[in-house]
Structure 1
Amino acid sequence: MNSQNQVESTLKEILKVVEPSREDWVTRFKIINELREVVQSIENLRGATVEPFGSFVSNLFSRWGDLDISIEVSFGQCVSSAGKKRKQTLLGELLRALRKQGGWSRLKFIPSARVPILKIVSKWQNISCDISIDNIQGEIKSKFLFWLNEIDGRFRDMVLLVKEWAQANGINNPKTGTFNSYSLSLLVIFHFQTCVPPILPPLKDIYPTNVVDDLTDCRCQS
């Protein structure tokens, strides 16, 4: 076996290890449904929706990847109207409800972050969850990555491999000043766009207008 074949064989073995199983998908949906029940038990959050985003939605997560959740409370609007203080208050109420219910560990509320966030760990496979309020930017990024994933399956494989490489080398942790997973995905996008011939098109060909402006002008009909 020549060196190129050895590399390809090794990469395929790595992908087999990190590839989520059906159980991994089922477990994450179970966590989402449990969070929905808790959210609906909170008076100030009744009617809000629990929406996953991040690598789970873009189908770029490994079997031990975490779960990003946005609680949508902007009733009648397509864009968040909740201010930071409101988000802090709602996440604080959710924290108390989760503690009361039990079954969650390592609950940590970070109200002072640029985007207030509640970090928890589920009893199911010890999956970490990051919960925020009206995280429209996170949802937009997830959708774009999903579209790119649909264009060419090699994009997903490369992102998973790069993320595993980064974790193995200690450079996939923004808390220590290194790359977050979204940044690593952007590096893969750039590489695929600059291949000869290119594998991925310019992002403007996927969404030709300004998505932020479109969402800002958008209002849902009640």
Structure 2
Amino acid sequence: MSAKIFGNDNGFPVVQAFGSFTMDLFTPKSDLDLSVNFTAETEDLCDRKKKIKVIRKISKVLYSLQRDGIYCGVLPLVSARVPIVNVIDRETGIECDITVENKDGMTRSMVFKFVSSLDERFRILSYLVKIWAKIHDVNSSREQTMSSISIISLVAFHLQTRHPPILPPFSALLKDGSDSASVEKNILLFKGFGSTNKESVAELFVSLMSKLLSVESLWEHGLCASNFEASWISKTWRKGVGNLSVEDFLDRSQNFARAVGKAQMQKICRCLTDCASNLTEFVRGNIDATKLKNRLFGRLNPDNLVSKPRLRGVKRKRKLKHSLEIRYKSQKRIKHVVPHEEPAHRAGAAPGTVAPAMVLASPVLLQQPTQTWCSNSGQSVGKPWWWSLFVVPSGFGYGLSVRVLPRAPHPGPGLLGRAPGDLPRPNSGTKLLKQVQLPGLLGRAPVDSIRSNDGIQLPKQGPLLPMPCQEQTE
């Protein structure tokens, strides 16, 4: 299709895949990321106007094929930071995201591909967290939740900040440049880097959830996870402080999680809390392993192995408009019953007593589900839906009331392993961010020493991550 539209100039353009497919981190419902490249350069030399022009030409052809029933859901997004056109193959249901000269995306995919070769736990843990996020609807940048690149980066960051660390800082991998040859050469220096860490994938999953839950109230104060430095840093972006901050290791002025909205961040935190509660119930013996896996990762349905075409563009707007009209009409039908005087012999009260007004509530409120929480005794307790709307002061962190169960006796080696004391305490002189210790699944999980993004190194107890020794280098 590209050759038909743009011709052939010394073998260009070429269409190359990147993203989760090339990183071997894709799931059955993952999008296929494609880049139409007109040069062999590793740097992006194509200006934005040319990219938009190419996207519009490709969209025009895709629209004609959509009318023939070959594709559906064609949606060009030329106003996005990276101009893109989305399209779904009608026969397979596979969704493609087509960009132009997306060399940064290809480089990031290449780096993660090399990193995954250092330790297999990175790839497996990335799978687990991505599936957990998809099951709980917090893995979609379009819906203002976490993108796949931000999830994978958080997994890599967690492995970088274990003691001993499992992955090296990305600054050591990119010190000679971001081209494939340089990164591959530096990767060889770190073979066996994390072999001294014997934590299982299950232990790493639990400690990652505990870590993210423990720093929940610090994101809005500038806390940022940096793969480049392999440490927590303090950072503000052009639009202020992000609701979730995961630094782009190639362009450090960008935030991988910039799409996360404030309300969606609350949803992510609630999912983390529910995950901690389910793990605690499993440790206490209230649920078995099968039920725990179903709660965390859902049940595999063979009918849903491939993503189904979604309504886009005008059709989606019409569907939304139709649902709003139905809601408006239902609200108009809500009636308020005027209070009236009940006879004394029927109400069992003195004459003149007025019965309370009977007001019909909105059907949306009446159908709210109840939330089940675990009491200190480990029993499930049903709570009314309005109980979940309780809001604490905003300084606590996004106005959420985090209810984490008290720490159970440590079971020793097994699923949980040792407590996540993987991050050193900041010195008392560190005043950039206030150290907040929230009760996590396995007790308190302190935050690393914070480093400001202006290059000033704040005091800390010792090096967070040792560099490879001379013997390993040789």
Which interval holds the TM-score relative to the shorter structure? 0.7 to 0.9
Letter paired with 1:156: R
Residues 51-101 of structure 1 deviation map (CA, whole Å, 9 limit, x = unaligned): 100000111101221100010013x64433321111111111112223334
Q: Which runs of 4+ in 1 moved over 6 A?
A: none
Kindly indicate whether the alpha-carbon contact (under 8 Å) linking 2:71 and 2:88 is maintained by their aligned counterparts in 1: yes
Q: Match for residue 82 of structure 1?
A: 46
Q: Distance in 2 between matches of 1:85 and 1:44?
A: 20
State the distance in 1 between where 2:112 and 2:42 align: 20
SS at match of 1:114: coil
The yes-or-no answer on 1:110 pairing with 2:77 is yes
1:161 to partner: Cα distance: 0.7
Count, aligned residues = 176
User: 1:196-221 CA deviation, whole Å, 9 max, x = no partner?
Assistant: 22211121232323439x99xxxxxx
CA radius of gyration, larger in: 2
User: Which residue number corresponds to residue 67 of structure 1?
Assistant: 32
CA–CA distance in structure 2, aligned partners of residues 45 and 121 of structure 1: 26
Corresponding residue number in structure 2 for 1:8? none
Tell me which residue corresponds to 1:98: 62
In structure 2, what is the equivalent of residue 119 of structure 1? 86
Name 1:9's counterpart in structure 2: none
Q: Report the equivalent of 1:41.
A: 4
Output one character per residue of 1:1-21: Cα deviation in whole Å (capped at 9) or x when no partner.
Answer: xxxxxxxxxxxxxxxxxxxxx
RCO greater where, 1 or 2, for CA within 8 Å and sep 6 or more? 1
Please say if 1:186 is aligned against 2:153.
yes
Alignment partner, residue 208 of structure 1 = 175
The amino acid that maps onto 2:80 is A
Paired residues of 1:45 and 1:73 also in contact (CA < 8 A): no
Which residue of the partner structure matches residue 161 of structure 1? Answer: 128
Structure 2 counterpart of 1:63, one-letter code: P
Residue 31 of structure 1: aligned partner: none
TM-score norm. by structure 2 comes to: 0.35
Shift of 1:137: 0.9
Q: Distance in 2 between matches of 1:184 and 1:78?
A: 25
Point out where structure 1 has 5 or more consecutive residues left out of the alignment.
1-37, 216-222
Contact 2:6 2:13 in 1 (8 A): no
Alpha-carbon distance in structure 1 between the residues aligned to 2:19 and 2:139? 15
Aligned partner of 1:50 in structure 2 is 15
Q: 1:193 to 1:45 in 2, by over 3 A?
A: same
Percent same amino acid at aligned positions?
31
SS of structure 1 residue aligned to 2:73: strand
Q: CA deviation at 1:44?
A: 5.5
Q: Contact 1:45–1:90 at 8 Å: present in 2 too?
A: no
RMSD: 2.2
Q: Which residue of 1 aligns with 2:307?
A: none
- Classify the secondary structure of the residue corresponding to 1:132: strand
